[in-house]
Amino acid sequence: MKDLKHIHYFTALLEDANNELVRAAKKDGGIAVGYTCYYIPEALLNVGNAFSVRLRAPKTGSLDISQYYMGSMNCSYVRALLERAFEGGYHFLDAFFSSETCQQMNRLVENIYELKLIDNGTFYHSIIDAPLKISPHGIKHYTNQIRTHFLEPLRDQFGIDISETALRNAVAEHNRMCAIFEEISELRKADNPGITATEFHILNLVSYSCPTGLILPYLEETLVELKKRKLDPKIPYRARVVVVGSEMDDYGFTELIEYCGAYVVADRYCFGSMPGRQQIPINDDEDIVEVVCRFYLETNQCPRFMSQEKVQERRDVVKALYDEYNADGIIYEQMKFCDYWGYERAVASFVLHEEMGIPTVALDREYTVQASGQLRTRVQAFVESLEIKKIQKAKNQNEGEKK
């Protein structure tokens, strides 16, 4: 297939957290709000002239300094972010909103604040206490936290309009972006999808890393282009997989999977599109902050929720994606030293494989994955096993028909 018109521009945007569109928004008086996690309702952060940037640390190299401050037994995502903060990569941030999702994330935010790593006089940070249960009380508490820790400070510190109308406009813009992704995601269900898995990953990453209002026209144009795209006659994939797991913002991982012959049909990982790129249903009667907060809590698939019904729900969601996107197997990936995903990966991959009969492989990895030969070997072996299963199944079917 011919390259997408903007794909090289998109990959260039992913080279730096403070990318061209972020700089353009800042130049225009925008207030940059960094965040890292699905507990932070992105749709509300793009209110008025504030804009959200989900934080990455592209081209991460040595983690020596962050290791000195945080130790080596923390996930390499938080260490990479701290290292980048030491390098001065986040001076453009006006605010950093976080949740106490995990202690490692807390340590990161505290280090950034205490060591004054953001050289920006008005820099503001806040951490919310996110509920561990989804209940009417939990939703009320969460909504209150979002208002008092994020929205009101945006108004009081930066003069941002957080009126109902301004917030509704922000959610409408977010929904326009999600509608594009819902359409693009549908393409992944086809036998011969009109988009490569790596392209999808790149589009998804730029949507998180750039101001929504500025990236939207590029995404709209790309959707039109995808609908008219001339497909290659031959399908270049040997198997279709769902990827599930912890934080993943390196499209090199998807490239690696494609290189091994598999197509990623669904991305159920932190920083992926499921959840994250589905429209938020709104109505005229309820307070918009409440509606959005309830949506983010109810669709949250973080293994930090440990109640039995949430544990079961997460397995059901993965199984539903496997069925809906016609996958052959599941890759469970986990960032090393991530406790939540460590437990989830070990148990869920066993249950899906042994009890639900779905071919599943479990992998652990570092923040940057592209150069990992070991990972490549594991994925290659899994793809081969899926292909053998498919060949065997087709053979059995043929023999059955002959009889």
- Please check whether residue 155 is in contact with residue 47, taking contact to mean a CB–CB distance below 8 angstroms: no
- φ and ψ of 195, to 5 deg: -145, 140
Site string for ligand SF4, 104-133 (x = CB under 6 A): xx----------------------------
Name the minimum Å distance from CB 47 to ligand SF4. Answer: 25
Alpha helix stretches (DSSP H) within 265-372: 288-299, 308-324, 339-350
Strand partners, 96: 34, 125
Specify the 3-state DSSP secondary structure of 131. Answer: coil
Which region, judged by CB under 6 A, interacts with ligand SF4, from 75-83, 189-197, 250-258, 285-293?
75-83
Near ligand SF4 in 163-222, by CB under 6 A: none
Element spanning 263, H or E: strand 262-269
Site string for ligand SF4, 318-357 (x = CB under 6 A): -----------------x--x-xx----------------
Percent of the chain as helix, strand, coil, to the nearest 5 = 50, 10, 35
Q: Which is nearer to ligand SF4, 222 or 246 (CB)?
A: 246
Q: CA-CA distance, 161 to 83, in Å (whole number)?
A: 34
Q: Does the N-terminal peptide bond of residue 211 adopt cis geometry, omega within 30 degrees of 0? A: no
Residue type, 164: E
Name the minimum Å distance from CB 135 to ligand SF4. Answer: 22
Q: Which is nearer to ligand SF4, 123 or 340 (CB)?
A: 340
Closest by CA to 205, choosing from 254, 245, 171, is 254
Determine, following the binding rule CB under 6 A, whether residue 78 of this chain makes contact with ligand SF4.
yes
Determine, following the binding rule CB under 6 A, whether residue 82 of this chain makes contact with ligand SF4.
no
Q: Which is nearer to ligand SF4, 102 or 265 (CB)?
A: 102
Name the minimum Å distance from CB 322 to ligand SF4. Answer: 23
Q: Which is nearer to ligand SF4, 231 or 347 (CB)?
A: 347
Among 25, 50, 75, 297, binds ligand SF4 (CB under 6 A): 75
- Please check whether residue 333 is in contact with residue 248, taking contact to mean a CB–CB distance below 8 angstroms: yes
Determine, following the binding rule CB under 6 A, whether residue 55 of this chain makes contact with ligand SF4.
no
Q: What distances in angstroms separate CA 39 from CA 35, 293, 295, 297, 315, one per listed residue? A: 9, 9, 11, 7, 20
Which region, judged by CB under 6 A, interacts with ligand SF4, from 1-9, 96-104, 159-167, 220-228?
96-104
Name the minimum Å distance from CB 184 to ligand SF4. Answer: 26
Q: Which is nearer to ligand SF4, 335 or 361 (CB)?
A: 335
Q: What distances in angstroms separate CA 85 from CA 63, 168, 373, one per listed residue? A: 11, 33, 29
Among 57, 80, 95, 102, binds ligand SF4 (CB under 6 A): 102
Which region, judged by CB under 6 A, interacts with ligand SF4, from 47-55, 101-109, 159-167, 194-202?
101-109
Site string for ligand SF4, 246-265 (x = CB under 6 A): xx------------------
Where are any strands of DSSP class E within 30-164?
31-35, 50-54, 95-99, 124-128
- Please check whether residue 3 is in contact with residue 232, taking contact to mean a CB–CB distance below 8 angstroms: no
Closest by CA to 321, choosing from 339, 301, 304, 341, is 301
Determine, following the binding rule CB under 6 A, whether residue 289 of this chain makes contact with ligand SF4.
no
Q: Which is nearer to ligand SF4, 70 or 184 (CB)?
A: 70
- Please check whether residue 353 is in contact with residue 360, taking contact to mean a CB–CB distance below 8 angstroms: yes
Name the minimum Å distance from CB 73 to ligand SF4. Answer: 10
Determine, following the binding rule CB under 6 A, whether residue 244 of this chain makes contact with ligand SF4.
no
Determine, following the binding rule CB under 6 A, whether residue 60 of this chain makes contact with ligand SF4.
no
Token digits of residue 351: 């249950």
Which stretches of the chain bind ligand SF4, using CB under 6 A?
A: 75, 77-78, 101-102, 104-105, 246-247, 335, 338, 340-341
